């Protein structure tokens, strides 16, 4: 068996085309340009790359983006003041604080300062809590993108055994909640899980977001499983790999995502979707009806 590749670039391209159409309607019909504010503290090289990709993606679909850079030694209060200013700015529909933050920051306090109606990363307590009851406003972008990839590949989630490896607040936990909302039977594994293979071998859908290269090998995967590799790791030779042994696992799985080119493009793309959704929600609150029947990417996420 050779696994079918779930091409994140192709799925993302389709979603972005839809985003362009929605932005075009907002601009031409309502005179509204969706706006995203990105806050970055310090000069972490990886964060700088991610921020640049997000800014480029905004330009690609017509979203106005504004970048706010702070030195690593800035006081937390200055960043929170900027968040308050942006939260009150009607031209800003989304606020994103690039993580990680310097050690002297209280991450929960910073994320909690974002207006819940502009929390397009989906990290605010309001949106996280909404996941529990299946009624969040802005789903976290990475698991949101994974759900869309599963849908685009025609993967049935309901009634399947799903195993999530990794229990982070950004990916693992919200991923499990989204799968549960779609009536999957979900197990969550983490760093303290003993005998990881006894869980992964039972998975019809295996989602790996642990941050360890080649953590999942072929004998750990059920024949015919759908494998979504969220991990991205840079080896000593500069090669980017996921958390799975791609060559080995692809001979056991029915479908698999590559690294790079799998989940990564979807994460940035779902940020665009959330920002546009926020702009449309603002117009709806003002008594307008800009929605194009609601985006398929929002409708199929299962949240």
Active site positions, annotated: 54, 98, 121
Query: Please, are residues 210 and 166 in contact by the beta-carbon 8 Å criterion?
Result: yes
Query: Please, are residues 257 and 241 in contact by the beta-carbon 8 Å criterion?
Result: no
Q: Is 86 exposed, middle or buried (0-12, 13-18, 19+ CB in 10 A)?
A: buried
Give 149-180 as a DSSP string: HHHHTT---TT-EEEEE---TTTHHHHHHHHH
Name the helix (H) or strand (E) containing 187.
strand 185-189
User: b or e along 14-31 (b: 16 or more beta carbons within 10 Å of the residue's beta carbon)?
Assistant: ebbebbeebbebbeeeee
> Shortest CA distance to 240 belongs to which of 57, 60, 46, 99?
46
What is each CA distance from 30 to 35, 86, 117, in whole angstroms? 14, 21, 20
């Amino acid at each position: 068996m050779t696994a079918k590749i779930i091409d994140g670039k192709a799925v993302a391209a389709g979603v972005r085309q839809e985003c362009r159409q929605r932005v075009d309607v907002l601009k031409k019909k309502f005179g509204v340009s969706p706006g995203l504010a990105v806050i970055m503290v310090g000069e972490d090289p990886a964060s700088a790359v991610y921020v640049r990709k997000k800014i480029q993606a905004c330009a690609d679909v017509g979203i106005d983006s504004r970048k706010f850079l702070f030195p690593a030694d800035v006081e937390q209060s200055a960043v929170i003041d900027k968040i308050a200013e942006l939260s009150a700015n009607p031209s800003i529909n989304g606020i994103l604080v690039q993580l990680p933050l310097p050690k002297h920051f209280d991450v929960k306090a910073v994320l909690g300062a974002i207006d819940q109606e502009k929390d397009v990363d989906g990290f605010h307590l309001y949106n996280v809590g909404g996941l529990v009851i299946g009624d969040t406003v802005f789903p976290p972008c990475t698991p949101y993108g994974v759900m869309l990839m599963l849908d685009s590949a025609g993967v049935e989630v309901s009634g399947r055994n799903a195993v999530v490896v990794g229990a982070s607040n950004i990916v693992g936990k919200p991923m499990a909640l989204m799968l549960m909302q779609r009536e999957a039977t979900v197990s969550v594994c983490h760093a303290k899980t003993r005998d990881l293979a006894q869980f992964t071998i039972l998975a019809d859908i295996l989602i790996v977001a642990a941050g360890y290269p080649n953590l999942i090998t072929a004998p750990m995967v059920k024949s015919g499983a759908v494998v979504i590799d969220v991990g991205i790791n840079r080896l000593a030779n500069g090669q980017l790999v996921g958390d799975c042994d791609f060559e080995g696992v692809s001979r056991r799985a029915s479908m698999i995502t590559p690294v790079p080119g799998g989940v990564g493009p979807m994460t940035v793309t779902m940020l665009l979707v959330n920002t546009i959704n926020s702009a449309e929600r603002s117009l709806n609150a003002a008594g307008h009806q800009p929605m194009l029947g609601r985006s398929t990417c929002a409708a199929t996420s299962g949240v």
